[in-house]
Chains A and B, each alone.
Chain A
C-alpha cells in the first residue's frame, strides 16, 4: 500500500468545519452573560479586605448580603436580618439586636445562616488589612492597638474574643458599638467586611485554610447567600465565572417573559468596546468622553453616583493659608463652564453631599464671585505671588480630569492666579507627601470622593482628624475649626436617625466649605455604561459598583448569551 499525500485544500476545509462544529472549545467558550469590568478582584475572602477593595465589590455584592440592604431611594431595608432593636445608650454605648431571617440558607441548600456566622466573619475582619472599618464595634479599638503594637497572638485573640458582636442564639445577633452611630445600619448594608462567613464549614480550619476556601473556588465553595456564587476564578486569564445560587433567598423574581441568568462571566479586556459592538460581550463601562460622544445609542445608560469631585486646597502653605483667598478661589470657579461639552450631562456641585443622599440638605446657593472682585482679593492676599501646583490623577478614569484641570488653570489665570498642572500616576503618594517646609506637598489637588454607604458620614470621614484629606486643615486656627466640625459630627451621629441629624451635618458641611474653605466641590460625577436591552436589572448602583443582583434575561430575545454561542 503506498502513502498518498493528502489533498491540502480538502484538509484545510475539513479543519475549518471541525473548528466551526466545535461549539465550546478554546478557552473563551464560557457560556452565559459576559461583562467587561475595569478590574479583577484581589480576593474573594469578603471578611478580609485590602486597599483595592473597590475591585472586590462586584463579586462580593453579587454573592453576598448584609444584615441590612439599601433600597432604591437609598433607604435602609431588612437584609439578612428581618428586624432589629436599638438600645441607646447603656454606659454610653449603643446596642443593636438583629433577628435573622429564618429561611436563609447558604448556597449548599442545607446550611442555615446563624448568628455565629457574623461573629466569625467580624472577628476575622477586625484583624484584616482594613480593620479600621470595624472601629465602631466595642473592643475593636483595643484589637487594633494590640495589632499595631505587634502584641502576642494570645493577647490579640483574647481582645478579639471580647469584640462587641455575640450570638445570643442561632437567630439572634447582638452588636455593641462603642458609642452611638446612626450610620451603622447603612454601613453594614454595603461594606462587605460586615458580611457573614459560613462558620459551620470554617470552624476548626486554620487561617490559611480559610483563605484557601474563599480564594480557590471549587466544589461549590465558597458558599454564598446572594443570587450568585463563584464557580471559577482564573487569575491569569482575568475572569471570574459566577453561577446562579438556586438556594438564595435574594434571587431576583423574574416577571412574565423573563428568566434568571444562570451563568455570568466577569472579564477584563483590552478591546471591550469593540467586543461589545460585535455582540461578544453584554456589558461595558463607557468612560472616555470620545466614546461617550460616539455612543449616544439606546443602550447607553447613565447612573448618577453618590459622589463628589472636588478641588482641595493646601490650608497651610502661603498664600493658600489665607482663608479669604481660598474662599475667593472656590467661589470664582464657573462650574458650568468647567464641564461644558465634556460629558453628555453633568451635575455641577455646590455641596460635598450629593443630591439623593439621605441627610443631604437642599441645594446650597453659591454666590459666584465676579472675576473682577476675585482678582482684587487675589492681589490683596498675595495669590499672584507664585505659581500654585495643582496635582491630579494621571491614567484612566471616568472623570475627565485633564480637561477639568486645564480649565481650572485657565479660569484661575483670568483672576491672576498662575497654576502649574502636575498629573501624577502616584497621585495618592504625592498628595500624602510632606514637603521640606513641613506642609503637604501640593498646593491644590483634584479628587473624587464616592460614597461607600448611604449616609453623610461616608463623605465627612475623610476630613476628620487622621483622615486622608492631606489639606492640613486640622492644624489651622489651632485646630478649632476641625474640633467644631467633629463635635457636630459626634452630635449628629448620636441621634437615632439621619433625618434628625441632617441640620447638624449641614452645619459641619458649612464649616468645611464656607468657614474654612478647605475644598471647593466641582461636580457630582455620573457613570456611563452600555448593556444589552434584553438584560433587565443589570447596571451600576449609586455607589459605582456593578449591580448584578437583580439581573434577569428577557425571554423574547436570544438567551444564548453573546453572539455565536449557545
Chain B
C-alpha cells in the first residue's frame, strides 16, 4: 500500500511541477523584456501578457489561475478564454477521449485475437500487416477520408468519428503489447503445471494468465489514455470540433501565453488523474500491488 501511495504521490507531483515549469519557461521568453521583438506584437497581446502572467509580482505564477477562478478572461479579447470555456473544451476532448479509449481497448482485444491465429493463415498475415498500416498512417488521413461523411452531420457523429480515428493506432499498440505479454505468460512453467494438473485451458487463461498480463497492460494504458483524453488537434480540426486539442494549438499559434501555461497544467492534471485511475485499477486487479508494503 505505501508503494501505491508513493506512486500516486509522484503522479500528483507532476501537476505543480508542470504548472511552475511552463510558467517559468513562458515568463523567460524574450516577449517579457523591453526588446525590439516585443514591438512587433500587437499592443493588446503585450498587455494581456503582462496582465495575465503577473510577471514580477509576488506569487505571480498563481495569477492565471486567480483570473480563471474569478471567471475573468485569459489572453486577448479576440482569442482568450474564460474558465467556463476552458472547462467546456476539456470536457469535449475528454468525452471524445473516453469513447476513443473504449474503442482502443476493443481494437486491442480484436487485434490480439487476430495475432493469436495459426501461423500462415490469412488472419495471421493481417495481424502482421495491420500494425504497419496503423503506425504508418497519420491521424489526419483517415480523418480526411471520413470527414465528408460525418462532419456537420450532428447526432454526435463527428465526435464519434474523431474517437474512431484517434483510437486505431493506440488500440493496435495495446493489442501488440497484450499479445506479447500473453505469449510470454503462456510459455511460463506455472501454465504448464496448471494444464498438467488437468485444469481446462480457458480456466488457466482466466485464472492465471490474465491476472499476470493485466499489470503490464496497465503500465501502457496510462500514457495512451492521457494522449487520447487531451484531444487530437488533427482530428478535431478536420472534423471541425472546437475542443481542447484545437484550443491548445491555436493558443500557441496566437501567442496566448497564459492559456498555454494553463493548458499545459491541465494536461499534466489529466495525466495525474489517469495515473490515479490506473493505480486504483491496479489495486483491484493485481494482488501483488495490494500485498506490496505489507509486512
| A interface residue numbers (CB < 8 A to B) | 19-20, 22-29, 34, 42-45, 50, 129, 208, 211-212, 214-216, 234-239, 267-271, 274-275, 277-278, 280-281, 562, 564-565
Selected from B42, B79, B159, the residue in CB contact (under 8 A) with A235 is B79
Complexed CA–CA distance, A50 and B40 (Å): 13
* Measured CA separation A29–B240 after assembly (Å): 12
Contacts of B246 in A (CB 8 A): 236-237
- B44 to chain A: closest residue by CB: A211
Nearest chain A CB to B44's CB is how many angstroms away? 7
* Inter-subunit contact B156/A271 (CB<8 Å): no
A-B contacts, 20 listed (Cβ < 8 Å): A25-B155, A27-B159, A28-B154, A42-B78, A45-B78, A50-B42, A211-B76, A211-B78, A212-B77, A215-B78, A216-B77, A236-B89, A236-B247, A237-B246, A238-B242, A269-B152, A270-B237, A271-B151, A275-B151, A278-B149
Decide: A237 and B240 in contact? CB cutoff 8 A.
yes
CA distance A24 to B152 in the complex (A): 11
Contact of B278 with A by CB under 8 A: no
CB distance from A146 to the nearest CB of B (A): 15
Q: Is B115 an interface residue (CB 8 A)?
A: no
Given A129-B42, A235-B250, do A280 and B152 touch, yes or no (CB 8 Å)?
yes
Q: Say whether chain A's binding surface is mostly helix, strand, loop, or mixed.
A: loop
Expressed in whole angstroms, the minimum distance between the Cβ of B67 and any Cβ of chain A is 13
Query: Are B89 and A29 in contact, with the CB atoms below 8 A?
Result: no
Q: Is the CB of A271 within 8 A of B238?
A: yes
Which residues of the partner chain B approach A278 to less than 8 Å between Cβ atoms? 148-149
Q: How many interface residues does B have (CB within 8 Å)?
A: 33
Q: How far is the CB of A216 from chain B (nearest CB, A)?
A: 6
- Which residues does chain A contribute within 8 Å of B79, judged by CB atoms? 235
B263 to chain A, nearest CB (A): 11
* Distance of A269 Cα from B155 Cα, bound (Å): 18
Let me know if B241 is at the binding interface, CB within 8 A. Answer: yes
Q: Which residues of A contact B158 (CB under 8 A)?
A: 26-28
- Check B59 for interface membership: any CB of A closer than 8 A: no
Which of A24, A28, A235 contacts B153, CB < 8 Å? A28
CB within 8 Å for A208 and B77 given contacts A270-B237, A275-B148, A275-B151: yes
| A22/B155 in contact, CB under 8 A | yes
Given A212-B77, A267-B240, A270-B144, residue A564 in contact with residue B154 (CB < 8 A): yes
Shortest C-beta distance, B227 to chain A (Å), equals 19
B73, B92, B152, B155: the one within 8 Å of A275 (CB):
B152
Indicate if the CB atoms of B151 and A237 lie closer than 8 Å: no
CA distance A565 to B76 in the complex (A): 35
What CA separation (Å) do A20 and B247 show in the bound complex? 29
Does the CB pair A26–B149 fall under 8 Å?
A: no
| Complex contact B242–A214 (CB within 8 A) | no
Shortest B235–chain A CB gap in Å is 11
A208, B243: Cα distance in complex, Å: 26
Centre residue among B156, B158, B246 by max chain A CB count within 10 A: B156
- Contacting pair A26 B159 (CB below 8 A): yes
Residues of B within 8 A of A45 (CB): 77-78
Measured in the bound complex, the distance between the Cα atoms of B151 and A271 in whole Å is 8
Return the chain B residue nearest A42 by Cβ: B78
Q: Is B102 an interface residue (CB 8 A)?
A: no
Question: Given contacts A235-B79, A270-B238, could you give 9 more A-B pairs where the C-beta distance is less than 8 Å?
Answer: A26-B158, A27-B92, A27-B158, A27-B159, A28-B241, A208-B47, A215-B77, A216-B77, A280-B152
Chain B residue nearest in CB terms to A50: B42
Q: Which 3 A-B pairs have the closest CB atoms?
A: A237-B242, A274-B148, A215-B77
Which of B92-112 touch A at CB < 8 Å? 92
B8 within 8 A of A: no
Measured in the bound complex, the distance between the Cα atoms of B81 and A20 in whole Å is 32
| 0 or 1 for each of B64-77: is its CB under 8 Å from A? (1 = yes) | 00000000010011
B47 neighbours in A (Cβ, 8 Å): 208
Interface residue from B42, B77, B89, B156 paired with A25 (Cβ < 8 Å)? B156
B87 to nearest A CB, angstroms? Answer: 13
Known A269-B151, A270-B144, A275-B151; contact A236-B156, beta-carbon cutoff 8 A: no
Select one of B76, B144, B243 contacting A236, CB under 8 A. B243
Q: In this assembly, does B172 line the interface, its C-beta being within 8 Å of a C-beta of chain A?
A: no
Q: Using Cβ atoms and an 8 Å threshold, which residues of chain A touch B76?
A: 211, 215
Tell me, in angstroms, the Cα distance from A234 to B237 when the chains sit together. Answer: 13
Bound Cα distance A564, B151 (Å)? 12
Cα A27 to Cα B152 with chains together (Å) = 9
Residues of B within 8 A of A212 (CB): 73, 77
Residues of B within 8 A of A27 (CB): 92, 158-159, 240-243
Is B242 touching A564 in the complex (CB atoms < 8 A)?
no
Bound together, the chains give a CA A451 to CA B79 distance in angstroms of 29
Most B-side CB within 10 Å, residue of A24, A43, A236, A281: A236
Residues in B neighbouring A22, C-beta threshold 8 A: 155-156
Closest A residue to B246 using CB positions: A236
Known: A28-B154, A211-B77, A236-B246. A274 touches B147 (CB 8 A): yes
Report A-chain residues with C-beta under 8 Å of the C-beta of B273: none
A271:B247 contact, CB within 8 angstroms: no
A25 partner residues in chain B, CB cutoff 8 A: 154-156
Residue of A nearest to B147 (CB): A271
Cβ-defined contact, A20 with B242, below 8 A: no
CA A359 to CA B122, docked complex, whole Å: 75
Closest to A209 in B: B77
> Considering only CB atoms, which chain B residue lies closest to A271 in the complex?
B147
> Given the complex of chains A and B, what is the CA–CA distance between A238 and B239 in angstroms?
11
Does any Cβ of A come within 8 Å of B285's Cβ? Answer: no
With A and B bound together, what is the CA distance between A26 and B240 in angstroms? 11
Least CB distance from A208 to B in Å reads 7
The answer, yes or no, to whether B289 is at the interface (CB within 8 Å) is no
